[in-house]
Structure 1
Amino acid sequence: MTPPRLADRLLNWFCAPHLREEVLGDLHERYALRVAKYGETNARRRYWREVLAYVRPSMIKRTPSQYPTTFFLSPDMLRNYLKIALRNLVKNKVYSFINIGGLAVGMAVAMLIGLWVYDEISFDKSFPNYDRIAQVMQNQTFDGEVQTWSNVAMPLGPELRTTYGNNFTYVVRAGWIGDHLLSLGEKKLTKGGNYMEAEAPDMLSLTMLKGSLSGLQDINSILLSKSVAKAFFGNADPLNKIIRLDNKLDVKITGVYEDLPTNSSFANLSFIAPWELMVKSQGLEQILQNPWGASWFQTFAQVADKADMNTVSALIKHAKRNRVGKEGARNNPEIFLQPMRNWHLYSEFKNGITSGGRIQYVWLFGIIGLFVLLLACINFMNLSTARSEKRAKEVGIRKAVGSVRSQLVSQFFSESLLVVIIAFLLSLLLVQLILPVFNEVADKQMAILWETPAFWLIGVGFSLLTGLIAGSYPALYLSSFQPVKVLKGRFRVGRFAAVPRKLLVVVQFTVSVTLIIGTLIVFRQIQYAKNRPIGYNRSSLLTINAGDIRNHFQAFRDDLLETGAVLNVAESETQITNTYLTNSGLSWKGKDPAMQEEFVTLGVTQDFGKTVDWKIKEGRDFSTDFASDSSGVIVNEAAVNYMGMKQPIGETIKWGDKLVHVVGVVKNMVTQNPYDPIKQTFFYLRKGDLNTIILKINPNTPSSDAIGTIERVFKKYNSAIPFEYRFIDDEYAKKFGDEERIGKLASFFAVLAIFISCLGIFGLASFIAEQRTKEIGVRKVLGASVLNLWGLLSKDFVILVIIAFGIATPIAYYFLNNWLQKYDYRTELSWWIFAVSGAGALAITLLTVSFQSVKAALMNPVRSLRSE
C-alpha cells in the first residue's frame, strides 16, 4: 500500500531539499511496518500526523521567495515578470500594436454589444411591479387565420373588474400614446401623452415630484412629466395651474412625475389625462352604440399578488365571448394576458402564438460580440505562437538556469494579462468615443455604467478570462520546449506547428465572411421591400393633422388650389401609410356563410384618388357627377380575389344595415407593413370627422416655398395650433427603421470583425516575411520576380480564405434563409451575394498581405544574405 500522495506533495513543498529524500525514506519505511502491524487505516492516520509535524514552521528552511510559483508568487517575481513583459512590448512595437489594438477593438465591440443587450433585456424593468403587469390582448379568427390584436373593446375593463376582480390589483383602460397639443398662453408644445384611468399612476408606480398618485380622480385634471412641467413653468410650482389640451380642453395640473426611462414602453408618456375626459370630449358613448363590437382601445392589468399570470390568463379567455351574441362569437374572440416582460422582446405573434420578436436580435448580437472577441483572442494566440521560435532560446536559457515550467507559465500569463489590461483601458476610451455615434445608429441612450459595481466586476472578470484564454495556448506551448534541443540548435517547430494557426485563421475568416453575407442580405431585403410597387405615387405628398380645419375643409382646399403651390387636397380617416381600421359583418353574392371575413376600410373624400394618384384597373374613380357615389365603394385587387368576383363593377355588398355598390377597382396599394401581403381593402366616401389631410405639392414649386404657402393658409383657418407636416416618403421610410438599424449595426460589427482579422493577417504576414527573408534573398538571386515572390507569400492565406468561404457559405445560407422566412414579401438568396462576399474577403486579404509580401520581395538580397 502506498502512503497518501497529498501528504507527500505537502512534504515536498515545505521540506528543505537536503532533508527531503531522507525524511521521505524514513516515513515510507515506518508506514510499511505500521500497515503490516496495525492495518492501513491506522497507518495512514499516523503518517499524516508525522507529515504535519515535519511541516511546522521550525522545520521550514525556505523563504517565501523560494517557494515554487505554482503555490506562491512573490511581489519581486511579479514585478520582474511585468518588467520583462513591458520590455518585450516596447521591443516589438508592431506586434504590440496589433495585439493591443486588436484586443482593444474586440473588447470595445463586446462592451458595446453588452450595453445594447443590457438595454434590451432591462426594458420595462424600471417598473417595480414589472412581473405582475400585463396588457390585455385578444385573438380572433378570420378566414381560418388567427390574428392577435392589442386593441380591445371598451367594456372589457369593467367586465374584468366585475367578474374576475379577485385576480387583479388594478385594471386600467387607456387610449393610445400619441402627439397632443399642450398650450399655456402663447407657449405651445406637441408632446406624446395618453388618456388613462385613475389607477394608472399606481399601477405604473410613478415617482411623484408634485401632487399625488390619485391626481386623475377629477375629470378635468392632468399629470405632467417633469420635463414638460419645466418647459412650461421653469422652477415655479405648476400645481393647480390651468393648461389647455388639444386647443379645446382646459385641465388642471394635479401632479408632476419623474420622466420615465427611455428603455420603457411608456418612454413617450409626457402627460396622462383622465380616461373619462376622452370618453366625454369625443362622445364615445354615443358613437359606440355596440361597444363590444369595436376594438379601439387598450387595457392594462396588474394581477393580484397571490395570483398566477398564466392561470388568470386562462381564466379570462372567454370574457368577451360571454358578452357578445352569436354574430360576435363567430370570430372566436379569446382574451389573454401578455406579460410586461414580453412586450419588448416577444412582441410578434403567428397564428395566435408568440413567435419571437427582438429577442432574436439580442441573441444574434450577443453571439456576434462573442465571436468578435474570439477573433481578437485568435490574433493574440496566432502572433504569440508564430513568434515562439524567436523566444525559444529565452525559454531554453531560463530552464537551464533553474526555472521550472510553472514559472514560465506565470511569465507568459503575466505578459498576456498586461496586454489585456492595457487593451481593456483602451477599449473603455474607444467605447466612450464611439458611444454617441453608436447610440444614434441604434436609436438608444446608453452610457457606460461607471458607478455600477456589477459593470466593473464583469469588466475585470471579463478581462481576466480574456487574458487567460488568449494567453493559455502560448503559455503552455512555449513553456513546453526542451532546453537541450533549443540550446544545441536542434529545435524545430515541426511540420504541423503552423496547423493550429491556420485553423484559427480559417475560424476568423469564416466569421467575417458570414457577417459580410448577412449584412448584404439584410440590406438587399430592405431594398427589395422599398422597391416594391406600392400602387400610388408618394412623391411630393405630405400630410397634416386635420384638427379644426375639418370644419372649414372646402374653403381651406379652395384657397390652397388658388395658390398654385398645391395640385390637389383630400381628407382620409388615417394616414395612407398606416390604415389600421378594419371591419367585418359584410356579405356579398356567393359568400360562404361560414366565412369569417375581415376588410381594411378607409373613409376618404372624392379627390383622394387624384391626390395620391392611385391606379384604376377597372371601373372609375369617385366623382361629383354621380350622386350615387355616396353609397359607392372602390376596392383593391386583393378584395376582388378575396370575394371571388368575376365582374366586380356594379356588384352590391351588404355592410351592416346598408347596401353599397362597387364603382371601381384599384391596383393593390401598400398601406401597412411593406413586408406583408396586401390585405383586402375598400375605400368609401365619408364627410366630416376625418383626421388626416393629404396634399399633393406642385412639382414645379420648390418644396420650401410650397410648405410656406401651405402654412400661411393653415394659419388662416387654424392659428391656435402649430403647423406640423409629414412627407409620405419619410413616413414610408420609417417602416424600414428596425431592419435598417439592424443592418447598420450588423455592417458596423462586420467591418470591425474584418478589421481585427486583417490585423492578425498583417501580423502573420509580417512574421512570415521576416522568417523567410533569407529564402526570399536566395530566390531573388536565382532569378525569381517580384510577382513570383508575392504569389509565394500570399498563396497560403488565399487557400485559408477559400476554405473559410466554403465553411461560411452553408452556415450563412441556413441562418439567413430562416431569417427571411418571417417575411411574406422577401428577396431571394442569390448566388452572386455569396460570390461577392467571398471575392471581397479574398481581395481584402490580398491587400493586407500584399504590403508585407511586396516589401519583402523588393528587399535587397545582399542585405538578407550577408549574415550567412
Structure 2
Amino acid sequence: MFKNYLKIAWRNLKKNMGYSAINIGGLALGMAVTLIIGLWVNDELAYNNYFKKKDKIAQVYQSQTFNGETGTGQALPRPLEKALREGYGDNFKYLVMASWTNDLYLKYGDKSLSRPGNYMQREAPELLELEIIKGEKDGLREINSIMLSESTAEALFGKEDPIGKVIKASNQYDLMVTAVYRDIPFNNSFNDTEYLIPWDQYVAYREWVQEAEDNWGNNSFQMFVQLADNANMDRVSATIRDVKKNLNEDTAEFNPQIFLFPMKDWYLRGNFENGKQVGGRIKYVWLFGIIGAFVLLLACINFMNLSTARSEKRSKEVGIRKSIGSQRRQLIYQFLSESFLVVLFAYVLAILIVLLSLNGFNDLARKEIAFPWSNGTFWVVSLAFVLFTALLAGSYPALYLSSFRPVDVLKGTFKAGKYAGLPRKILVVLQFTVSVAFIIGTVIVMQQINHAKNRPVGYDKEGLIQIPTFSEDFFGKYDLMRDEFLASGAAIEMSTSSSPTTRIWSNRGGFTWEGKPEGFQEDLAWTEISPEYAKSLNLKIIEGRDFSREFASDSLGVLINETAKKYLGMANPIGKFLKDDDEEDPSPPLKIIGVVQDMIAQSPYEPVKQGVYVYDRFNNSSFYNLRLNPNQSASQNLATIERVFTEHFPDIPFQYDFVDDEYGEKFAAEERIGTLSGIFTALAILISCLGLFGLTSFVAEQRTKEIGVRKVLGASVFNVWNMLSKDFLKLVIISCFIAIPISYYVMNGWLQDYPYRVILEWWIFVLAVIGALAITILTVSFQAIKAANANPVNSLRTE
C-alpha cells in the first residue's frame, strides 16, 4: 500500500513539474537555513564540552560596589588563594592560580615565534584535562619547565622530539619542554592556550607579583577551580561569598563578594549588570533558533498554499477514489506520502546546499563547524526533522483535500466556497509578517552598528600601528628606537603605552583631591605613556598642555580625559593634584597638567570611562605606537620598520597590529549577527516570493478564460495586472501593520542592552513597508503581465 502511495505521489510530482520545483526548492532553502542554524546552535551549546568535568569546573569571580554601582569580573587579589586553600580547601579538588593570557616570545635554534598562553599552578593540566602526546602530565612540577601545544611544538621543533629540549622565553630565561599536549579544540574557552609555564616561575621573575602576596587591593590575577566530587557549586559559592570582606578591612568598603562562576555559563551567560547575571550570547542562540523555525515555517506555508490552491484540480481524483471505496484515512495517507516525498527530495537538496555553503558560513561566523556525517544522533534527529516537516507541511492539505464530498465533486457542483481561500490568505499574511519583521530587524541592527562606527573615536586611528614589547630586551631602549624609526622615514611619530590603544588594562583608586566628596570611591582607568603619546595618536589637548621633555617636573604630571574632569568634579583641573591616600607609604602627588579629548578605549557602545595618563618614568611600557609616514605606502613603511626592528631585536619576532583593525574587532560580533540576519532575511523573502509566484501563477491559470473575456471587451494590460495584483498587495499591507508593532517592541528591547544606541525612527518602518510592497509587485507582476499579454483567442477557443 505504501509503495502505491509513493508511486502516485511520484506521478503527481512529474505531472506538475513547475509547482513541484517551487515546492521542493522553497522547502530545500528553508530546510538548509534551519540545518545551518541548527549546526550553529549545537556548536554554541556544545562550547566547552571538551571537558568531561564541565559541571564541576568554575572560575572564581568578584563583585565590588563603587558609588552604588556594582561591577563584576574575574580579576582577583593574590591573597585569596591562601584564604581559600586554608579555610575552604575541602570543597576543591583542584585550585589553580593563573596569569592573564598573554603572548610570549619562544625561541629554539634559529626559529622564533610568538604564541599566547598562561602561567598556571601545577594542577592546571589535570583541571584542563590536557591530552598528553609526549612527556608527562605533571609537566609543571619544575620551576623552569614549559608545556607546549602540539601545533606550537611542531612549529618550533618540526619532526624533532621536543621533550627535554631547552627553549628561550622572551629572550630572558631558559625553559625545558616537559610535555606536549594535543591542541585544545576551537570551541573552547582555553583554545588559545598554546603553552603553560609554572606559576612559581611567574612569581619568581616578577617583583610586583611577589609584593602582591598580601595585597588584597591588587586585583591582577585569575583563579580556576574544580570542585570536590561531593561538593555543590551553589553551596560552595555561597560559603566563600564574604571571605575577602571578612579578612580585609581596607577593601571591605567596596563590599567585595566572591563567588564561583560555573564553566557551563562562561560562554553563553557571561554578562553581568549591577552584580546580577543577565545573560549573554544565549540571546543570539534564541534569536537564530527562532529565525530558523520561522524560515522553515515559511517554506511549509508555501507547500500548504500551493497544495490547497490546486484543490479543484485534485477534487475529481478525490471524488472518484471515495466513490470506489477509499476511506478518508487512506486519502490522508496518500497526501501525506506526497508531502513526505517532496520533503525527502527537499532535504537531500538542502544537505547539498549546506555542504556548498558551510565553508563560507564558517568564515562568516568564525566557526569550525563540520558536517556530522558519522554522528548517529544527527541522522536520527534528521529523520525526525523530515517526518515533522512532512507532517507540518502536509497535514492541512491532507485534511482539506480528503474532506471533499464525492457527490458534489462528480456532479460538478463542487465549489470551493466563499471562505475557502481565507486560510491561504492568512498564511500569506503570516509569511510576509515574518519577512517584514526580518527586514526591519536587520535594518535596525546594521543602523546600530553604523551609529557606533560613526561615533567620534577621539584620536586618529588611520595609519597607526602598535608593536608589543613583552620582553626585557625593550627596557630602556625607547629613545634609541624612536630615533631609529623616525630617521628611517617610515614613521613620523612614536610613543609607548602600558595598554593597547583600543583597551584598558589597568584600573586604580586610592586617591584624594581637592573637593573630593566624603565617601566617594573612585575608579580610574590608568595608562602609563611616554611624552609623545598624544602626538602619535593625534589626541587633542582640550585644556592645559601636553607632556614635555623640557620640564623635569612632568615625570610627576598627569593628563586626564574630559570624562575624568567631570567625574572628579573639577571645573578648573589644571594645577590640581591627585594624592595617594596611603598614609603609611604614599606615592608622590600627581599634578594635572592637561585635559585630553575623550578617546574610546573600551566598547564603542558604552560611555567613555574616566581615565588618567601618567608619565612612564621607568620606560618599560608594553607597546610601541607608531604613526606611519602618510607619504609612503603602508607596505613600504612596514618593510622599513621590520628591518630596523630586526637589527636591534634579532631574536624577537616582528609583530604589529593596525589600530584601526583592532578597533574594528569591537564591532565584529554585532557585524556577524547583522550579516547573518541579512542573509537569513534575504532567504526568507526569497522563500515567501517563491510561494507568492506559485500562487500568482495558479490564480492566473485559474482565471485564464476570465482574462480572455475581459481583453475581448477592451480591458488593458494594466486593468488585468491590477485585477491579479491588488488582492496580494492588500495582504502584504495587512502584514506590514502586524509586523511593525511586533518588530518595534522586539528591537527596542534589544537596543536597551546598549547605553550608546540609535533612536528608532519612523522612516525605518516606512522603508520596510515600501520594500515589501516593491518585492510583492515585482513577484506578482511577472505572471500578471504574462497573463495580460496572452492572446485571448487561445484562452477562449474551447468555448
Instruction: Tell whether the 8 Å contact from 1:552 to 1:717 is kept in structure 2 after alignment.
Output: no
Give, as a single letter, the amino acid of the residue that structure 1 aligns with 2:667: F
- Matching residue within 573, 589, 598 for 1:659: 589
In the superposition, the TM-score normalised over structure 1's length comes to 0.90
Q: Which region of structure 1 is more displaced relative to structure 2, 212-221 or 819-828?
A: 212-221
Amino acid at match of 1:312: V
Aligned to 2:45: 121
Cα displacement (A) at 1:133: 0.5
CA distance in 2, matches of 1:759, 1:646: 64
Q: Provide the rounded CA distance (Å) in 1 between the counterparts of 2:130 and 2:173.
A: 24
Counterpart in the other structure of 2:690: 759
CA distance in 2, matches of 1:287, 1:343: 30
Distance in 1 (alpha carbons) for counterparts of 2:114 and 2:167: 13
Q: Find the aligned partners of 1:79 and 1:849 in 2 and give their Cα distance.
A: 38
Alignment correspondent of 1:192: 116
1:339-358 correspondence runs (5 A)? 339-358=262-281
Indicate yes or no: 2:462 matched with 1:531.
Answer: no
The equivalent of 1:331 in structure 2 is 254
- Residue 588 of structure 1 and its aligned partner are, at CA, apart by 0.8
Spell out the pairing of 1:512-527 with structure 2 (5 A cutoff): 512-527=435-450
Q: Does 1:853 align with 2:795?
A: no
Q: Which residue of 2 aligns with 1:590?
A: 515
Return the letter of the residue paired with 1:660: L
- Match of residue 178 from structure 1: 102
Residue number in structure 2 paired with 1:820: 751
Which residue of structure 1 lines up, in the alignment, with residue 312 of structure 2? 389
- Counterpart position of 2:9: 85
Equivalents in 2 of 1:249, 1:145: separation in Å? 43
AA of the residue aligned to 1:264: N
Alignment match of 2:645 (pick from 714, 726, 734): 714
The answer to whether the 8 A contact 1:505-1:800 is kept is yes
Which residue in 1 is equivalent to 2:601?
A: 671
Q: Residue 407 of structure 1 is aligned with which of 330, 344, 347?
A: 330
**Preserved contact between residue 85 and residue 418 of structure 1 (Cα < 8 Å):** yes
| Residue type at the aligned position of 1:768 | V
Amino acid in the other structure paired with 2:694: G
Letter in 2 for 1:748: I
Deviation per CA, 1:634-656: give whole Å up to 9, x if none: 11111111111121111122134
Q: Give 1:257's aligned residue.
A: 181
Please tell me whether the aligned partners of residues 708 and 793 of structure 2 are also in contact (alpha carbons under 8 angstroms): yes
Q: Distance in 2 between matches of 1:505 and 1:285?
A: 66
Q: Aligned partner of 1:778: which letter? A: V
- Select the structure with the greater relative contact order (CA < 8 A; seq sep ≥ 6): 2
Structure-2 separation of matches of 1:299 and 1:225: 21
Partners of 1:458 and 1:444 in 2: CA distance? 22
Q: Given that residues 581 and 601 in structure 1 are in contact (C-alpha distance below 8 angstroms), is that contact kept between their aligned partners in structure 2?
A: yes
Is 1:801–2:749 an aligned residue pair?
A: no
After TM superposition, give the deviation of residue 228 of structure 1 in Å: 2.1
Q: Deviations over 1:463-520 (max 9, x none)?
A: 0011011111111111111111111111110111111001001111111111111111
Identity of aligned residues (%): 53
Work out whether residues 107 and 651 of structure 2, in 8 Å CA contact, stay in contact via their aligned partners in 1: no
TM-score (norm 2): 0.97
Distance in 2 separating the partners of 1:224 and 1:724:
21
Q: 2:34 maps to which residue?
A: 110
Of structures 1 and 2, the larger Rg is shown by: 1
Aligned-partner SS, 1:209: strand
Deviation at 1:290, TM superposition (A): 5.6
The reply to whether residue 470 of structure 1 matches residue 393 of structure 2 is yes
Q: Which residue of 2 aligns with 1:452?
A: 375
Which amino acid in the other structure matches residue 736 of structure 1? F
Q: Does 1:141 align with 2:65?
A: yes
Once the two structures are superposed, residues 656-690 of structure 1 have per-residue CA deviations (whole angstroms, 9 ceiling, x without a partner) of 42211111111211111111111111111013220
- Equivalent-residue separation in structure 2 for 1:137 and 1:848 (angstroms): 56
| 1:682 aligned to which of 607, 612, 619 | 612
* Mapping for residues 42-57 of structure 1, pairs under 5 Å: none
Alignment of 1:357-506 (within 5 A): 357-506=280-429
Residue 175 of structure 1 aligns with an amino acid whose one-letter code is S
Whether 2:463 is the aligned partner of 1:540: answer yes
Amino acid of the residue matched to residue 356 of structure 1?
G
Question: CA offset at residue 867 of structure 1?
Answer: 1.6
Q: Matched residues in 1 for 2:210 and 2:48: separation?
A: 36
1:82, 1:418 within 8 Å by CA — same for their partners in 2?
yes
Write the distance in 2 (CA, Å) between the matches of 1:157 and 1:97: 66
**C-alpha separation between the residues in 1 aligned to 2:557 and 2:208?**
27
**Could you say what secondary structure the match of 2:680 adopts?**
helix
Moved more, 276-285 or 480-489: 276-285
Q: Does 1:843 align with 2:770?
A: no
Shift of residue 551, structure 1, vs aligned partner: 2.8
Measured in 2, the distance between the counterparts of 1:517 and 1:502 equals 22
Structure 2 CA distance for aligned equivalents of residues 589 and 636 of structure 1: 18
- Return the alpha-carbon distance in structure 1 between the equivalents of residues 352 and 8 of structure 2: 26
The 3-state SS of whatever aligns with 1:650 is coil
Query: Helix, strand or coil: the match of 2:477?
Result: helix
Note the aligned Cα RMSD (angstroms). 1.3
Give runs of aligned pairs for residues 586-665 of structure 1, distance below 5 A: 586-656=511-581, 657=586, 658-665=588-595
Partner Cα distance (1:329, 1:852) in 2: 75
Offset at residue 334 of structure 1 (A): 1.3
**Structure 2: how far apart are the matches of 1:78 and 1:845?**
40
**8 Å Cα contact 2:474/2:620 also seen in 1:** no
| 1:294 lines up with 2:218 in the alignment | yes
> Which letter maps to 2:486?
L
Q: Secondary structure at the match of 2:278?
A: strand
Secondary structure of 1:320 counterpart: helix
**Whole-angstrom CA distance in 2 between matches of 1:288 and 1:82:** 76
Q: Work out the CA distance in 2 between the residues paired with 1:211 and 1:475.
A: 65
Question: Could you give the per-residue CA deviations for residues 729-777 of structure 1, whole angstroms, max 9, x where no partner exists?
Answer: 0000000111111111111111111111111011101101111111111
User: What is aligned with 1:732?
Assistant: 663
- Separation in 1, partners of 2:165, 2:651: 20
List per-residue Cα deviations over 1:348-398 (Å, max 9, x = no partner): 000011011001001111111111110011000000000011111111111
Q: Deviations over 1:552-588 (max 9, x none)?
A: 1111101111222211000000111101310000111
Asked whether the 8 Å contact 1:129–1:204 carries over to 2, the reply is no
1:34-57 Cα distance to aligned partner (Å, 9 max, x none): xxxxxxxxxxxxxxxxxxxxxxxx
Deviation at 1:236, TM superposition (A): 4.1
CA contact (8 A) 1:798 1:845 kept: yes
Query: For residue 863 of structure 1, what is the aligned residue in structure 2?
Result: 794
Residue 417 of structure 1: how far off its partner (Å): 0.5
3-state SS, counterpart of residue 254 of structure 1: strand
Could you tell me which runs of 5 or more consecutive residues in structure 2 were left unpaired when the two chains were aligned.
none
- Map 1:237-256 to 2 at 5 A: 237-256=161-180
Tell me how far apart the structure 1 counterparts of residues 325 and 237 of structure 2 sit (CA, whole Å): 72
Give me the whole-angstrom Cα distance separating, in 2, the residues matched to 1:747 and 1:115.
19
Q: How far is 1:222 from its partner?
A: 1.2
Deviates further, 728-737 or 609-618: 609-618
Task: Identify which range, 287-296 or 406-415, moves more after superposition.
Answer: 287-296
Is this contact kept in 2: 1:549–1:556, CA < 8 A?
no
Residue 56 (structure 1) aligns with: none
**Deviation per CA, 1:14-52, whole angstroms, max 9, x where unpaired?**
xxxxxxxxxxxxxxxxxxxxxxxxxxxxxxxxxxxxxxx
SS at match of 2:653: coil
Aligned residues: 791
Cα distance change, pair 414–762 in 1 and its aligned pair in 2 (3 A)? same
Q: What amino acid is the match of 2:596?
A: V
1:220 aligns with 2:128: no
Aligned residue identity for 2:246: N
Q: Which runs of 5+ in 1 are unaligned?
A: 1-76
